């Protein structure tokens, strides 16, 4: 009887020890895994942000140049000129940063931005102005969101500094884009009313 009890206690003890050992191994693995993943993601986060920022600035410059040629409203032409100037400057900075960090930089705009460019290039006059203004509001809302996220998610101090320094410029661009959009929308509505009134007579 005593032998059976001793044997049961021994088996229970070994089982408990093995269970504890297994749990400890799992917990130790879980503790290490996030750090490794976090390190990989941190590096990726910096690289993705820098590449996206470069592509974004290239697109703003290219679309701005198109708008300087095709826009009808002076407000749109002025905004486009500002985009070319500010984003050319930002692009130079981000290229230097990418080179310093050893990041393989994009050489052209993204496929999505190329589609936007092609769509806008087929428009002209007030129709172009409205479509360009709408795209600029959307683009800068997205850019501001990404740059704000970068302030907390990127790891390298110089990349973080670039995000923080560029953010106020992007916020200023968004305000200008919203004013431009309101102006070309009002202009389109007043012209529509005028032509409607003329046709009724």
Judge whether 160 and 150 are in contact, CB under 8 Å: yes
- Cβ(142)–Cβ(84) under 8 Å? no
Q: Is 125 left (phi over 0), alpha (psi -120 to 50) or beta?
A: left
Q: Left (φ > 0), alpha (ψ -120 to 50) or beta: where does 102 sit?
A: left
Task: Please write the tens of the pLDDT for every residue from 36-90.
Answer: 334 444 444 899 999 999 999 999 999 999 999 999 999 999 999 999 999 999 9
Supply the pTM of this predicted model.
Answer: 0.72
Locate 184 and state its tokens. Answer: 């070309």
Q: How many residues are listed for the chain in this entry?
A: 201
pLDDT (tens digit per residue) in 98-149: 999 899 999 999 999 999 999 999 999 999 999 999 999 999 999 999 999 9
Whether domain 41-200 has CATH 1.20.1260.10: the reply is yes
């Amino acid at each position: 009887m005593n032998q059976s009890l001793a044997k049961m206690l021994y088996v229970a003890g070994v089982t408990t020890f093995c269970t504890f050992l297994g749990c400890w191994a799992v917990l130790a693995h879980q503790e290490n895994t996030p750090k490794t993943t976090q390190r990989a993601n941190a590096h990726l986060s910096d690289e993705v942000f820098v590449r996206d920022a470069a592509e974004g600035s290239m697109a703003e410059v290219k679309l701005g140049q198109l708008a300087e040629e095709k826009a009808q409203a002076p407000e749109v032409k002025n905004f486009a000129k500002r985009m070319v100037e500010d984003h050319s400057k930002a692009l130079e900075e981000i290229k230097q940063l990418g080179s310093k960090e050893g990041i393989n930089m994009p050489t052209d705009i993204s496929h999505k931005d190329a589609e936007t460019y092609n769509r806008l290039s087929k428009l002209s006059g007030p129709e172009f102005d409205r479509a360009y203004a709408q795209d600029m509001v959307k683009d800068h809302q997205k850019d501001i969101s990404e740059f704000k996220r970068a302030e907390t998610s990127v790891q390298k101090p110089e990349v973080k500094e670039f995000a923080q320094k560029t953010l106020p410029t992007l916020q200023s661009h968004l305000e200008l884009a919203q004013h431009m959009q309101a102006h070309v929308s009002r202009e389109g509505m007043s012209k529509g009313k005028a032509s409607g009134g003329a046709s009724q007579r």
